[in-house]
Chains A and B, each alone.
Chain A
Amino acid sequence: MARLLQSEEDEVIGSKGVIKKVEFVQIIAKALYSLGYKKSGAHLEEESGIPLHSSAVNMFMHQILDGNWGESVATLHSIGLKDESTVKSASFLILEQKFFELLDGGKVMDALKTLRTEIAHLCASSNQLRELSSNLVSFSHDLRAKSRPKLLQELQELLPPTIMVPERRLEQLVEQALTLQRDACVFHNSLDREISLYTDHQCGRDQIPSRTLQILEAHSDEVWFLNFSHNGKYLASSSNDQSAIIWEVGTNGEVSLKHKLSGHHKPVSSVSWSSDDGKLLTCGVEESVRCWDVSSGECLHVYEKSGPGLVSCGWSPDGKSIFSGVNDRSICMWDLDGKEVENWKGQRTLRISDLEITRDGKQIMSIFKETAILLFDREAKSERVIEEDQTITSFSLSRDNRYLLVNLVGPEIHLWNIDGDINLVAKYKGHKRTRFVIKSCFGGSEQAFVASGSEDSQVYIWHRGSEELIGKLSGHSGSVNCVSWNPVNPHMLASASDDGTIRIWGLNSHLQQHKKLQQVHSNGGSMAAAYNGRT
């Protein structure tokens, strides 16, 4: 193998001068060998004059694969390892292999001799020695020695990378770069996992919903709340017109009215989907909670208390119980038949207050003071509190239950980590709020975005990690009260407004498709009517 001059050894390449040429070539050579291109690897070593391994290491590798144990241990000592314990551990691995190969070959006496004379003093503990010696009397006929290539791999992991280039190092470096690119991409919102190596990954804004695809006009008054179902196939909205509506999301993304749910005598402030999306809860402000069957639109039950009114609703994850905040500041839990199962008194909710329950059913979250949210663990019977410095108007829980998005009067939106220690992670600003309750939500691919309504009639979208405002969607003619991002389709967003409409937002590219579809359907009468959301 050609020897390198000192100057060559220090040579650097790349625009920043931080890549050592020798290491660079060696990693490439290693990658070539890993891919199976032995000839190319050897050729590279020759042409560059940069050997992948020193001659001692090459010899070592051959000795291992050929089973020349004694010689390999000797070579080990001459490779230039500074750490005595590494030499010891590596010697142990090699001699252990010798021991097992002798046993597998039936040479028990030789194995015993190896154990006594060569291995015993290398053992880290008497237990290790005892384990090995127990192999001298075997109860099974399985082979005990691992394959020699596997031994070589284990030795490679043990030896420092300067002696032996680690396997797959080039792949690791490339993966690191790709991960960094993806995390830095503020508009990254694709389900598609393809990232090309040819250019730096940078999504354009075209992956973020930005165009109105549909306007749904079935409510007759301000629309206060909406939420997509877990499976993304339905959307439920609730309004000051005392009704709620279940919409269906068609396979090509068009939203049509499925059921109008009437029965409340007060404005409906919120809805909640059961985990299997088979039932929907609606909450009339300081009135009652109703449970509806999603496929038939039938009202299954009305939950109310004689006296106090209910202010919020939520499902237990197993679908067997319903939670509700009450305007006497308590929270109560009912079974499906309407029997009150549990009641948590004390200051727990305010008038019109959000309620969230974690997926494991253990924690219940509610706004219990103007500036604080209570996280109540009903199993451990313990409580944690998020204290804010401004009045809280609403909050929502992330899908992985580790984060809470809190809307403040500011207007500001705060992102809190609630997994383990509670701490403030990010703040989002820019939207407008003075009088109304505005709600925000997580959304997009891997919930990488935060979206919120705003009193200036726009939908605001921020990149969650970098807090950067990346979109303002205009179209509504009244305050946008609530937004919901389709959990299954990261390119679909819905917004509810005081102008009585719901807008479905999608990608620019989808708009072109949608327009074509509209043309097709307008030739088919009633389909077009349903499409526009009129009943």
Chain B
Amino acid sequence: MTSSPSAMDVDPPNYDHVTINDSDVHSIVLSYLVHNCYRETVESFAASTGMNQPADYLDGIEKRKKIFECALEGNALKAIDLTEQLAPDLLESNKDLHFDLLSLHFVELVCSRKCNEALEFAQTKLTPFGKMQKYVEKLEDFMALLAYEEPEKSPMFHLLSLEHRQQVVDSLNQAILAQAKLPSHTPMERLIQQTAVVRQLLNQDHAKDGHPPFALKDFLNG
């Protein structure tokens, strides 16, 4: 193949062998929506496709959504409380996560320039983690933030960012779902990942034929 109009349409003859079940597609979409707490969308999608979902499904979504909103907007302590309510012992068995959530609160205090409070909080809540070596370095990172009058300009500024908070929230989501014996990664995510890996391998084999390396974005854009 020298040129292909649509990346996705490479090997169309092969695709013809694969039948796709509508209900499978619906499941994939629904699970994605549930995972990411799009409650209203879940309701309307389920109604449109005629899928039924149990009531506590929606309840679970609502609770998780509340936790993540708190964490993202900087109310980490409330997020922890709600998590404890929803999934008791979760944080006990996920020390890394517990530390990350507590440090979100610490960061919030630093950003509001409440340094003395931040220091106290660190001493009471974060220091106990310091008994394990792997937390010592993380702790040092956070303590260093205190030394700067403008923490946004310090080398550790990434700890203050939204991306960091989002990462913590994602980990929390996965942990909660895992504890509820639900998949911590959506089928959608896994399917896309698989496609990328397979395509990459195939392209590598054909690399000498002059095919460019695989790019997921280009593939999806057709």
Interface residues, chain A, with chain B CB atoms under 8 Å away: 108-109, 112, 115-117, 119-120, 126, 129-130, 132-134, 136-137, 139
Whole-angstrom distance from the CB of A141 to the nearest CB of chain B? 13
Whole-angstrom distance from the CB of B135 to the nearest CB of chain A? 11
B119 x A126 contact (CB < 8 A): no
Q: Given A108-B119, A126-B154, A137-B127, are A117 and B149 neighbors across the interface (CB < 8 Å)?
A: yes
Q: List 16 A-B contacts (CB under 8 A).
A: A108-B119, A109-B116, A112-B116, A112-B119, A112-B146, A115-B146, A115-B147, A119-B147, A120-B148, A133-B147, A136-B123, A136-B143, A137-B127, A137-B130, A137-B143, A139-B131
B144 x A137 contact (CB < 8 A): no
Residue in B closest to A135 when the chains form the complex, CB atoms: B143
Residue in B closest to A132 when the chains form the complex, CB atoms: B147
Interface size on B, residues (CB 8 A): 20
A133 x B119 contact (CB < 8 A): no
B residues in contact with A109, CB < 8 Å: 116, 119
Q: Given A109-B116, A117-B149, are A133 and B144 neighbors across the interface (CB < 8 Å)?
A: yes
How far apart are the CA atoms of A135 and B154 in the complex, in Å? 18
How far apart are the CA atoms of A139 and B146 in the complex, in Å? 18
How far apart are the CA atoms of A112 and B145 in the complex, in Å? 11
Q: Given A112-B116, A139-B130, are A133 and B143 neighbors across the interface (CB < 8 Å)?
A: yes
Of the listed residues A120, A132, A134, the one surrounded by the most CB atoms of chain B closer than 10 A to its CB is A134
B139 x A134 contact (CB < 8 A): yes
B residues in contact with A137, CB < 8 Å: 122-123, 126-127, 130, 139, 143
Residue in B closest to A115 when the chains form the complex, CB atoms: B147
B119 x A130 contact (CB < 8 A): no
B residues in contact with A119, CB < 8 Å: 147
A120 x B126 contact (CB < 8 A): no
A residues in contact with B154, CB < 8 Å: 126
B130 x A116 contact (CB < 8 A): no
B residues in contact with A117, CB < 8 Å: 149
A133 x B140 contact (CB < 8 A): yes
Interface status of B115 (Cβ within 8 A of chain A)? yes
Q: Given A112-B116, A133-B143, A137-B126, are A126 and B155 neighbors across the interface (CB < 8 Å)?
A: yes
Whole-angstrom distance from the CB of A435 to the nearest CB of chain B? 76
How far apart are the CA atoms of A136 and B139 in the complex, in Å? 11
**B100-145 contacts to A (CB < 8 Å):** 115-116, 119, 122-123, 126-127, 130-131, 139-141, 143-144
Q: Which of B122, B130, B144 is within 8 Å of A129, CB to CB?
A: B144
How far apart are the CA atoms of A133 and B130 in the complex, in Å? 15
How far apart are the CA atoms of A119 and B146 in the complex, in Å? 12
A120 x B149 contact (CB < 8 A): yes
How far apart are the CA atoms of A494 and B137 in the complex, in Å? 68
How far apart are the CA atoms of A139 and B149 in the complex, in Å? 25
How far apart are the CA atoms of A139 and B131 in the complex, in Å? 8
How far apart are the CA atoms of A132 and B141 in the complex, in Å? 12
B149 x A116 contact (CB < 8 A): yes
A residues in contact with B131, CB < 8 Å: 139
How far apart are the CA atoms of A99 and B212 in the complex, in Å? 58
**B152-204 contacts to A (CB < 8 Å):** 154-155
* B35-54 to A contact mask, C-beta < 8 Å, 1/0: 00000000000000000000
A residues in contact with B149, CB < 8 Å: 116-117, 120
A residues in contact with B122, CB < 8 Å: 136-137
A136 x B155 contact (CB < 8 A): no
How far apart are the CA atoms of A108 and B143 in the complex, in Å? 13
Apart from the given pairs A116-B146, A137-B123, 9 other A-B contacts in the complex at a CB distance below 8 Å: A109-B119, A112-B116, A116-B115, A129-B144, A132-B147, A134-B144, A136-B122, A137-B122, A137-B139
B residues in contact with A139, CB < 8 Å: 127, 130-131
Whole-angstrom distance from the CB of A137 to the nearest CB of chain B? 5
Whole-angstrom distance from the CB of B111 to the nearest CB of chain A? 15
A residues in contact with B127, CB < 8 Å: 137, 139
A residues in contact with B146, CB < 8 Å: 112, 115-116, 133, 136
Q: Given A116-B149, A120-B149, A126-B155, are A134 and B119 neighbors across the interface (CB < 8 Å)?
A: no
B residues in contact with A108, CB < 8 Å: 119, 123
Residue in B closest to A125 when the chains form the complex, CB atoms: B155
How far apart are the CA atoms of A137 and B130 in the complex, in Å? 9
Whole-angstrom distance from the CB of A521 to the nearest CB of chain B? 75
How far apart are the CA atoms of A109 and B122 in the complex, in Å? 12
B148 x A130 contact (CB < 8 A): no
Of the listed residues A112, A115, A137, the one surrounded by the most CB atoms of chain B closer than 10 A to its CB is A137
Whole-angstrom distance from the CB of B74 to the nearest CB of chain A? 22
B residues in contact with A133, CB < 8 Å: 140, 143-144, 146-147
**B63-103 contacts to A (CB < 8 Å):** none
B143 x A134 contact (CB < 8 A): yes
B115 x A136 contact (CB < 8 A): no
Residue in B closest to A120 when the chains form the complex, CB atoms: B147
Residue in B closest to A117 when the chains form the complex, CB atoms: B149
Whole-angstrom distance from the CB of A72 to the nearest CB of chain B? 22
A residues in contact with B116, CB < 8 Å: 109, 112
Of the listed residues B116, B147, B149, B155, the one surrounded by the most CB atoms of chain A closer than 10 A to its CB is B147
B residues in contact with A126, CB < 8 Å: 144, 154-155
Whole-angstrom distance from the CB of B168 to the nearest CB of chain A? 21
A112 x B115 contact (CB < 8 A): yes
3 interchain residue pairs of minimum CB distance? A130-B144, A133-B147, A134-B140
How far apart are the CA atoms of A137 and B146 in the complex, in Å? 11
Whole-angstrom distance from the CB of A255 to the nearest CB of chain B? 66
Whole-angstrom distance from the CB of B144 to the nearest CB of chain A? 4
Whole-angstrom distance from the CB of B156 to the nearest CB of chain A? 8
Residue in A closest to B140 when the chains form the complex, CB atoms: A134
Whole-angstrom distance from the CB of B149 to the nearest CB of chain A? 6
How far apart are the CA atoms of A109 and B121 in the complex, in Å? 12
Residue in A closest to B116 when the chains form the complex, CB atoms: A109
B residues in contact with A116, CB < 8 Å: 115, 146-149
Residue in A closest to B147 when the chains form the complex, CB atoms: A133
How far apart are the CA atoms of A119 and B148 in the complex, in Å? 10
A residues in contact with B141, CB < 8 Å: 130
How far apart are the CA atoms of A460 and B194 in the complex, in Å? 90
B residues in contact with A129, CB < 8 Å: 144, 147-148
Whole-angstrom distance from the CB of A260 to the nearest CB of chain B? 70
How far apart are the CA atoms of A6 and B195 in the complex, in Å? 88
Residue in B closest to A131 when the chains form the complex, CB atoms: B140
Residue in A closest to B137 when the chains form the complex, CB atoms: A134
How far apart are the CA atoms of A129 and B122 in the complex, in Å? 18
How far apart are the CA atoms of A134 and B142 in the complex, in Å? 9
How far apart are the CA atoms of A112 and B121 in the complex, in Å? 14
How far apart are the CA atoms of A253 and B42 in the complex, in Å? 107
Residue in A closest to B155 when the chains form the complex, CB atoms: A126
How far apart are the CA atoms of A132 and B155 in the complex, in Å? 15
B residues in contact with A130, CB < 8 Å: 140-141, 143-144, 147
